[in-house]
Amino acid sequence: MGSGIVAILQFGLLTFLTAVAVGVLITVCSQIQISILRHLARETELRDRIAAYSRLITGFQERVENRKAAAAGAASILFGSERQEKQLRTRLRELEREPHRFVRVVGAEQLPNRPFEIMAVNSSVAHQVARGERHAFYDGSWARPCPVHVWASGPEEAKSEFERVFPRTTGFKLLSIQALNIDGPVRTADGQAEAPMEDRAGAERASKPFSRRSQSSAEMPA
């Protein structure tokens, strides 16, 4: 009886020690195999590549965020421009409906140029307005005669300047041209402001009698 128990204990101890030895052997073999695989797979090189890829991904993400911020800024600018364009179009339609007419100015408002008023109309706009349509480039005010003030040295130059800005090929037609009086101060080519022609002529007429009186008083004997 006692020998049987001892045999059982010996068998259990031998089995335990065998299992432990097998586990240690398997662990050592696994570590050796892992080391061999790491050496063959160049783990250090792979780690360096993974780190480089991580840095690239981080840089790409930063670029994407910067592009998003730039796109958001461009979108806000675009929305602002569209809103401003809408306001300007609304104001233009209001001006078209008002009874008075706004005047377009062409040329440099300086001497020796003089202002000429040209009445013109756009036949293409007139045809589309008559059909209840809107022109793609010009507002509906050109459907009726519109005044254009052109600053030029003469009527021929004023006509040429008008046709340069409003060419006939786009439907503009010159109806009449006449010279205008200069009511306010006009700047010369060097930037100096000069009085209107009428004021200068009046000043010259007013100064002449004064000079004659001065001369006559100087000639009188003492």
In a domain, 28, yes or no: no
Q: What CATH number should be reported for the domain holding residue 115?
A: 3.10.20.10
User: What are the backbone angles phi and psi of residue 114, rounded to the nearest 5°?
Assistant: -125, 150
Q: Provide the number of structural domains found in the chain.
A: 2
- What 3-state class would DSSP assign to 74? helix
- What 3-state class would DSSP assign to 29? helix
**179 and 125, same structural domain?**
yes
**108 and 158, same structural domain?**
yes
**153 and 86, same structural domain?**
no
Domain boundary among 46, 72, 100: 100
**108 and 179, same structural domain?**
yes
**70 and 140, same structural domain?**
no
Q: What share of the chain is helix, strand, coil (3-state, %, to 5)?
A: 65, 15, 20
In a domain, 18, yes or no: no
Assess contact for 166 and 138: CB atoms under 8 A: no
**175 and 120, same structural domain?**
yes
In the prediction, which pLDDT does 193 show? 47
Nearest 5°: CA angle at 167, between 162 and 169?
160
**126 and 72, same structural domain?**
no
In a domain, 55, yes or no: no
CB atoms closer than 10 angstroms to residue 92: 14
What does DSSP say about strands 146-152 and 104-106: parallel, antiparallel, or unpaired? Answer: parallel
In tens digits, the chain (222 residues) has pLDDT values of 567 677 777 777 788 888 888 888 888 888 887 777 767 666 677 777 888 888 888 888 899 999 988 888 888 899 889 999 888 888 777 776 665 566 788 888 877 889 999 999 999 999 988 888 888 888 788 888 889 999 999 999 999 999 999 999 999 999 999 998 866 555 544 444 444 444 444 434 444 443 333 333 333 333
**163 and 121, same structural domain?**
yes
In the prediction, which pLDDT does 157 show? 93
Residues 6+ apart with CB under 8 A from 45: none
**85 and 120, same structural domain?**
no
In a domain, 5, yes or no: no
In a domain, 152, yes or no: yes
**120 and 158, same structural domain?**
yes
**What domain range is 95 assigned to?**
61-100
In a domain, 168, yes or no: yes
Dihedral sign, CA of 90, 95, 97, 98?
positive
In a domain, 25, yes or no: no
In a domain, 163, yes or no: yes
CB atoms closer than 10 angstroms to residue 177: 17
Provide the whole-model pTM.
Answer: 0.42
CA distance 188 to 180: 18
How is residue 184 written in tokens?
Answer: 């306010």
Q: Which residues pair with 152 in a beta bridge?
A: 114
CA distance 121 to 146: 6
Residues 6+ apart with CB under 8 A from 199: none
